[in-house]
Amino acid sequence: MLRITSPEYGRGRAWKDSGMPAHASLAVPYASYLRVYEPLDAFPEPERGHWAQYAEQALRGETPTAQDELRRSLADLLPTPPVPVPVHESGDAFVAELDGTVVVCPWRTRLRGWLALEELPGLLPSPVLDAALPPVVREQTAADHERWREVNPDARPWIRSAVWQVPVRWFVLFADEEREYVPGDGTGSGGGGGKAPVLRYRTPMVEARRRVARALKTLREAMEEGPLTEGLVDVGRWLEEFHPRSLVEVDYGGLVHALSAEQLAGDRSAADVAEGIAALRSGDGEAAGVAYGRLAERWRAVRDLQSAN
């Protein structure tokens, strides 16, 4: 379920890494994002040339933002019948720098639209889903995806998203010292004007993979296989598909509009996850439970907002 509200994510001035939030008047879903930025060397020609030229424009603040992507997606749902997946793939990307090297994260909006559509039946009741996206539209879109996949069997998205939460398994990839928090000019809950807050973590791919491997080893030694272990395996396999000199980012995205400034400033979820895993590694189940309890309570409060809306 997505609630649409007033502040906009990424409108106005395009920030250096082409997609940081700024306040404006359009609506945002409360979604978070896990992104991989790859160096230009990871892309074959002629795609590499496209991204090299694009990156130059992005670092000058001349390319679309995250909110621009969202606006396009929402606009496609307004016609009758709706267009749940773009007809053409996006040529846009997020751009950042890692140790002086330009790295890019392609939007791949069309591919992500197909993947998101596959998950909808498990998220929405059938009457709601049929009203929003009639079965004939979904069937045609699924057939388009199947034909496309036959030609592009190895395609994968550079971006994963989650609504009303940042999945616990994502925090495993990061350390507390990699946390970046920039308070906004207004309120975190979507009230005031000015620049929206930013809360994200960034780490080199090599660190993300190492942390996944260590966490999996600890979890498998300390407990039975479960959702967290399965989720980490899935994330680890996904990370292996990218260049080893990539940058990995988790971005609170639109969630900054659902949380107060105090909640954002006090959110140390990656630290709680690291503390819990370290406690399990040392055999201290009680300390692990305390760390997990803090994390669970923080995100339960966020998910409760979804029900309130």
Tell me whether strands 101-106 and 31-39 are parallel, antiparallel or unpaired: antiparallel
Tens digit of pLDDT for each residue in 81-119? 677 777 777 889 999 999 899 999 999 888 877 777 777
Q: pLDDT per residue over 63-74, tens digit each?
A: 877 667 666 666
The yes-or-no verdict on residue 9 having pLDDT over 50 is no
pTM of the complete model: 0.80
Confidence of residue 23 (pLDDT cuts 50, 70, 90): very low
Q: Among candidates 4, 42, 36, which has minimal Cα distance to 257?
A: 4
pLDDT score, position 5: 24
State the DSSP string of 204-260. EHHHHHHHHHHHHHHHHHHS---HHHHHHHHHHHHHTTS-TT-EEEEE-GGGGGTS-
Dump pLDDT digits (tens) for 195-208.
889 999 999 999 99
